[in-house]
Structure 1
Amino acid sequence: MSKKVVGEDGRTYKVKKPFYKRVWFWILAVIVVLVIGGSLGSKSNSNHTDNSNKSTSAKTDNSGKITRSQFDSIKIGDLMNNAQGGDTLDSLKKKFGKPQSTSSDTTNGVKTDVVTWTNVAGGFGANVIVSFTDNHAYDKNLTGYKLSRKQNIKLSDFESFNNGMKYSDFTAKWGQPDYYNESLINGSTTIIAGYTSGVKGGLGANFNVTFTNGALSGKTQSDMK
């Protein structure tokens, strides 16, 4: 309702109530508060649900993925001793799940099986490949692993790699390799470590370093600068 007041000029004026004193304003205000409160509650629930889903999703994404440390823990035995002491195929299947593929070959009466897992927590295209004889592992490969290397490894760095350098010292300085192969044959352990990330040079620049019984014994590079 409007209120009548008399001005200084003697005239009567109708003055409306301020909008904030009107009933409709407070009804509308209550409705807005309820709507906003409901929206915030819904958003909170949504965030909680989203976070819950993210957590679940993260667990699902990582579930069954072979980590770098799990690959490193694979034990290999000497091929010339039927790989005794190496992990069995059955034990790795229990740990890593069903492999993507398996192939067999026989050379000089020695049967070998090559088993590949693709459920690797190293990016698309990462594989774990293990070779077995007499159901025991004697060779293991990690390929296609994606690394974000802090170092920028130049050709001059490569040229400074000297034979005899320990594998542990090498990786402490230059980081883990993108490609890794380890085998044990006739009492000798051979590691071939391949580097593709953080390598300075043309497209596809890379280098490999070979370690025999833990010591650097050879190196090759392609298109480094």
Structure 2
Amino acid sequence: MKRRKNVLSVVAICLAALSLVGCSNSSSSNKSDNNKPKSNQKVKKTNTQKTSFRKSFDKIQVGDVMQQGNGGSTLKDVKNILGQPNSISATEVKGFKVKSYSWTKYGTTIMVQFSHKKAITKTVSGFKWTRHSTKLTLKAFNSIKTGSSYKALVNTYGEPDGLNENVVLGKKNVTAVYFTGIKAKSAGANASFTFADDKLVSKTETNLK
């Protein structure tokens, strides 16, 4: 019981990283407004690099917190994918140690947290997909039912902009946040979906229209 409480405390810290997604997207968009106009060729190159970096996130495997990260990528594995991290920090909850490594490129940040030298959670923030439609309206959001799958969400609305993944007691938990492809009433609009074992368990929206 004590071990389980410790693990759940660590998971709470891991999930707190997802709260940075909104801030990262807001700050990155403000910075882009201040940049000088770029040529189409440079914009295309930057977008390709950003997308490539985002897709690197998918190559990282997370292990089960309850099994000391068993099955998760090692730090060496992740460095081979992303290179050297930009920052490193450590957190300890009731004797349970978690080390966080962050990589930031092109306004996008990938954070991977390790326990027992294995990845136990990963988060991507600050990234925005280029979409040419706003399918995710308030009406569409309300029609998405509890129990529906993550795959169904992605098939309909595309990959989320912000994403957090972890595994606890053999159960994969995913929180997906959309900032693009949505119909917004005002700036800062987003839609967030939380899945457990590929089933939607909760959802929230801000300023959808």
Q: Give the TM bin, normalised by the shorter chain.
A: 0.7 to 0.9
Tell whether 2:123 aligns with 1:134. Answer: no
> Which of these two proteins has the greater Rg computed from alpha carbons?
1
Name the CA distance, whole Å, in 1 between partners of 2:128 and 2:69: 30
TM-score, normalised to structure 1's length?
Answer: 0.68
Tell whether 2:81 aligns with 1:95. Answer: yes
Give runs of aligned pairs for residues 12-51 of structure 1, distance below 5 A: none
Name the CA distance, whole Å, in 1 between partners of 2:70 and 2:147: 28
Q: Which amino acid aligns with 2:195?
A: F
Name the CA distance, whole Å, in 2 between partners of 1:168 and 1:128: 22
Give runs of aligned pairs for residues 1-225 of structure 1, distance below 5 A: 62=49, 67-119=53-105, 124-152=106-134, 153-201=136-184, 202-225=186-209
Name the CA distance, whole Å, in 2 between partners of 1:155 and 1:203: 15
Q: Which amino acid aligns with 2:178?
A: Y
Name the CA distance, whole Å, in 2 between partners of 1:114 and 1:88: 13
1:79/1:184 contact within 8 Å kept: yes
Unaligned runs of 5+ residues in structure 1 are: 1-53
Name the CA distance, whole Å, in 2 between partners of 1:126 and 1:132: 20
Name the CA distance, whole Å, in 2 between partners of 1:139 and 1:209: 17
Q: 1:104 to 1:66 in 2, by over 3 A?
A: farther
- Once the two structures are superposed, what CA deviation does each residue of 1:20-71 show, in whole Å capped at 9, x if it has no partner? xxxxxxxxxxxxxxxxxxxxxxxxxxxxxxxxxx8xxx69x94x99533321
- Once the two structures are superposed, what CA deviation does each residue of 1:111-148 show, in whole Å capped at 9, x if it has no partner? 100110013xxxx3211100100110010001011211
Paired residue secondary structure (1:204): coil
Name the CA distance, whole Å, in 1 between partners of 2:51 and 2:75: 17
Unaligned runs of 5+ residues in structure 2 are: 1-40
Q: Which amino acid aligns with 2:119?
A: A
Relative to its length, the structure with more helix (as a share) is: 2
Runs of 4+ in 1 over 3 A off after TM superposition: none
CA RMSD of aligned residues (A): 2.2
Q: Which residue of 2 aligns with 1:26?
A: none
Name the CA distance, whole Å, in 2 between partners of 1:211 and 1:150: 26
Name the CA distance, whole Å, in 1 between partners of 2:143 and 2:208: 13
Identity of aligned residues (%): 32
TM-score, normalised to structure 2's length?
Answer: 0.73
Q: Give the CA deviation at 1:73.
A: 1.7
- Once the two structures are superposed, what CA deviation does each residue of 1:128-175 show, in whole Å capped at 9, x if it has no partner? 100100110010001011211233121001000101111111101100
Q: Which amino acid aligns with 1:178?
A: D
Q: Which amino acid aligns with 2:112?
A: V
- Once the two structures are superposed, what CA deviation does each residue of 1:57-90 show, in whole Å capped at 9, x if it has no partner? x69x94x995333211211100111101100012
Name the CA distance, whole Å, in 2 between partners of 1:159 and 1:118: 34
2:65/2:169 contact within 8 Å kept: yes
Relative to its length, the structure with more strand (as a share) is: 1
2:56/2:81 contact within 8 Å kept: no
Q: 1:164 to 1:126 in 2, by over 3 A?
A: same
